[in-house]
Homo-oligomer: A and B are copies of this chain.
Amino acid sequence: MEVFHYTDVEAKDAEEGASKLTVRWLITKKMGAENFAMRLFEMIAGGYSPFHSHPWEHEVFILEGEGLAISEEGQKKFRAGDVIFIPQNSKHQLKNDGEKTVRFLCLVPYTNDERPGQHLELRQKKNSANV
């Protein structure tokens, strides 16, 4: 069993196409988590993730702050305590339109890719991530 504070894990710049967004890979395959990864993102005021889609889902929990969750159907406001489920292959973007930093967990499976987990491991090596 591992117990550690999220700030013990280094924050790295998130993926290309994102702005003012960092990611900490908290629980990964390296730790023995074979099925899904837990990441914590920090998005400062004005930050955003790219508007994109991919063949894996996101399970998101908003820890702090507020912003907009955007999909092809429109946009919804989010705030601390909100849960966001983004299905596979569904276009999405998160934006911080508030004044405080948004902190959120975003979990992704090590499956549903041509080679399970490959997209995650490759991006980890490049110090980038999928939001």
What is A's interface to B at a CB cutoff of 8 Å?
1-7, 9, 26-27, 31-36, 38, 57, 59, 61, 63, 69, 71, 73, 76-79, 81-87, 90, 92, 105, 107, 109, 111-112
Contact = CB atoms under 8 A, between A and B. Distances in A.
A102 to B, nearest CB: 14
A4 B35 CA distance: 25
Give the number of times this chain occurs in the complex, counting copies.
2
A49 to B, nearest CB: 13
A90 B78 CA distance: 36
A65 to B, nearest CB: 14
B83 A27 contact: yes
A86 B32 CA distance: 9
